[in-house]
Amino acid sequence: MGYQYNDAEMMLATQIAYLDISGEDVSVGDVVDNILEYGHCVNGEWVLHEQYQNHPQCKYLKKQLEVAGNISELTEKYDKLGDDWRNWKVVDRCDDQNGTGYYGCLIDTGNEHAIIGCRGSESYNSDQVVKDWIVADVGLLDSELTTQQERAQRYMEELYYKYGDQYDTFSLTGHSLGGNLAQHMTIHAPAEMRDNIDHCISFDGPGFSQEYIDKNRHLIDKTDDCVDHYQWSWVSSLLIPLPDVIPTIIAAHDDERYGLPKAILYRHDVRNVDLDEDGNIQKGKESALSEILGPLSRYLERLGEGTLIDPMSAVLLPKITRLVVLYKLVRDAAEVFYKTSESIKEKIASVYYDYIAPNVSGEYEIRLLAVSSYEGELRNAQKQLDGVTNEIRKISRTWSNWSSSGAYYRSQLNMIKNGLELDIRELSLLARTTGEIVSAYSEVDDQVAALFG
């Protein structure tokens, strides 16, 4: 199907959405040139000039420099882009970074066509981490709209009423979280605007919750013919893709600026995509990390509502939030074992110091009823660990048909299960030995009583 823009032009628009462009009638080319004056490229890494490295806004400036660098590299690499992009203009912006965190813009590319670009997750300050990584990204797990999705939807309506009759076509795009937002805007576009939507591309954006899909299925069905979802890293494999929009795994490489494993994690950057000489995507192979996290994420999502254990886990691993369900299971098993172990240690110490150690008279005495009760508690602890082991076996069996991801997580659970089984055997031995001590003492006590009876 022929679209107004090729993949390189749509990818370029995702990067323009990361630029903070102010003023009217400012060309994108001039903005990029001005930002590039703040730094230079060293071995593929964009760094600020020395005079800006201690600037109060150095993190922000470096991020803008990296985006401008991405644009510069992209336009130099693909001749098909030509110089027309330099005359593109951002004619409208929705900058709600101080509110919901959403940022979108309307890019006038000339000839009565426009691209709506959505900015993805940012992390140059703690405020954006909270709004993008936690509120927006974690919120994708729910059926309710995130605050950024709500703002993006309103912005789509505003654009239609302001510019609906000025452009023949609108295209939408975004990278990462921005890709999810671009899809959402397409789905919820005003009915009168849908016929003017040419194309929507999510560049490595996450999917949606099953609840979101079920709730909005009637709208998704009206727009899925103009939506594409390009995937090349673990981020895009998370959650569930829109029905009838099968993610296209495209050619990309690990980030050469870093060694393993960091290179795999940073593969998500658009600079790592390998387009063909005409500036269009090429089919690729799914990354190893995607093969593991993608199926696991979708499996856990379809299990139902998960529980977020700790918001900080969402900061450290932005889009793998449903993995905390597995984390919770293992953590709970570890807690049961730890508490049981601590209790057992205390009881053993108590048995020794209170009932077996010599008393003040120099005689030795074992209180049989007390020791027998501890034997019963040891048996109960053994049963608790047996229950945890059985639960692990059940979960392991549910992954029996998985490929690499199933094998990996089964192996991890089996390691835990094997360790618990060793502890169970030790508990059983301790309980049996405790019982034998009681029996032996009772037998000796009876013999002594018979001698002096």
Give the number of other CB atoms < 10 A from CB of residue 166: 11
382 or 109, which is more confident?
Answer: 109
Q: Are 115 and 10 in contact (CB under 8 A)?
A: yes
375 or 98, which is more confident?
Answer: 98
Instruction: Identify the pLDDT of residue 364.
Output: 39
Highest mean pLDDT among 180-184, 276-280, 330-334, 443-447: 180-184
pLDDT over threshold 60, residue 332: no
User: Cα-flanking dihedrals φ and ψ of residue 227, to 5°?
Assistant: -110, 135
- 256-276: pLDDT as tens digits: 777 766 767 678 889 899 999
Nearest-10 Cα torsion for 19, 24, 169, 176: 10
Q: Strand runs (DSSP E) across 84-180, as ranges? A: 89-96, 102-110, 113-118, 169-175
Q: Are 104 and 152 in contact (CB under 8 A)?
A: yes
Instruction: Identify the pLDDT of residue 137.
Output: 44
Residue 329: exposed, middle, or buried by beta-carbon count in 10 A (0-12, 13-18, 19+)? middle
Inter-residue long-range contacts of 69-77, CB under 8 Å, 24+ positions, other chains counted: 69/36, 69/39, 69/41, 70/15, 70/269, 70/270, 70/271, 71/12, 71/15, 71/16, 71/28, 71/32, 72/32, 72/36, 73/271, 74/8, 74/11, 74/12, 74/15, 74/270, 74/271, 75/12, 77/275
Instruction: Identify the pLDDT of residue 38.
Output: 95
Lowest mean pLDDT among 59-68, 222-231, 307-316, 442-451: 307-316
pLDDT over threshold 60, residue 251: yes
Q: Can you tell me the mean pLDDT for 157-172?
A: 96
